[in-house]
Structure 1
Amino acid sequence: MKKRPPLLIVAVAGAYFLYLAWRLVTDFMPVTAGRFVISIVLFFFVFRGSRAAGNILAFLSALTALLLLVAAVSSFSANVKGAVVFTAFAGLLLAFAAYVFLSPKVLAFQRSARSAAPTKQP
């Protein structure tokens, strides 16, 4: 029975929280603070093995990748380097979304967390 989340999810969460903390320190905005709080709640449930939270995380990653691809297409004529960076980030986000949604390691972790949860006795 696997009790710890897969290392890739922990690494992505750590990098994302470092990015948000940097944004809060350098350019504080209430939207960023709200995103930080919501992300903490989402990753809390992902780390506990919630399949629904994992699906929400995968969906949000895929949606962000789609938005980055739209930004890459719209900025291609003005800034080719920026479009390439947007496309690279979109590819990484899509790969992460596929990993969270389809990986056997993630599915095994979620299954083991669900089976380890205490059941209510009537």
Structure 2
Amino acid sequence: MAKEFARSDRVAEQIQRELADLLQFEVKDPRVGRVTVTEVEVTGDLAHAKIYYSAKVGSPEIQQGLEKSAGFLRSQLSKRMLLRTVPQLHFVYDASIDRGIKISQLIDEALASDQSTEQKP
């Protein structure tokens, strides 16, 4: 039996693809820069969508630029997707990549200090 997906999951995947394209090619706001859409969560009634994004530099300017361009992005989504109503877009910075880099650095430091103590008998 084929795995079934909720409609909100399919809509979230489509929004993620379309937003990635729009943010790369259509948004002219210099505050936005290079943003990666990591995940999209859509409510069951398709009224709201949380867009998780990451950027090389997580600054409040990027958040402000995304919120400012939310209306434009929503109107472009309405032209590209076959939905009766397009969800309200809410942008949330995804710090998981930053945490992963920090943990990786801590592991590297621990391994380096462990190797230096092994070499000093």
- What TM-score does the superposition give when structure 1 sets the normalisation length? 0.26
- Between structures 1 and 2, the one with greater strand share: 2
Whose RCO is larger (CA < 8 A, sep 6+)?
A: 1
- Between structures 1 and 2, the one with greater helix share: 1
- What TM-score does the superposition give when structure 2 sets the normalisation length? 0.27
